[in-house]
Amino acid sequence: MTVRHIVAGVDGSENSRRALAWAAELARALRAELVVVHALGLLDRLADGEPVPTAAHRDAIVEAFEHSWCAPLADAGVTARRMVRDGTPVDVLLAVAEHEEADLIVVGSRGIGNVPERILGSTSHQLAARSIRPVVIVPEGVGSGSTSTHGAH
């Protein structure tokens, strides 16, 4: 299997930052393009972690996404595009993966909601259950420098 396009979901959490670094390392090793995506729902979070209405804070969220949340891309040596789309994270990631003909989707195990993994309904679990593409859920504790596929679905 040749991996040409990798979609990575980010939400500003430390777990999504680690997942993005992992995806960037994999993309570099495979010479694949990385498409980094953030979904704007009704509520989102800024740097302080407090939920805010997306409509009123859209510019600040996009700014955080482009400059802070995507910081692991700065020296990654990988071709990457960034996208912010309206919708729920699962629906947005699946739609972007379909449109981009992604070979792989990468997300962190827990996002800004910090929902324990054992609770059904988390973004990563819904994504793995609904995707027709392979999904890598990068677990907590995995940092850049490790491209094992632990957690792959």
Q: What is the pLDDT of residues 48-67, one digit of tens each?
A: 566 666 777 788 889 999 99
Number of domains in the chain: 1
Domain contains 149: no
Residue 85 CB neighbours (<10 A): 14
d(CA 70, CA 61) in angstroms, rounded, equals 12
Residue 88 lies inside a defined structural domain of this protein:
yes
Say how many C-beta atoms besides its own lie within 10 A of residue 29's C-beta: 11
| pLDDT computed for residue 114 by the predictor | 46
pTM above 0.75, yes or no: yes
Q: Does residue 143 form part of some domain?
A: no
Q: How far apart are CA 75 and CA 135, in angstroms?
A: 25
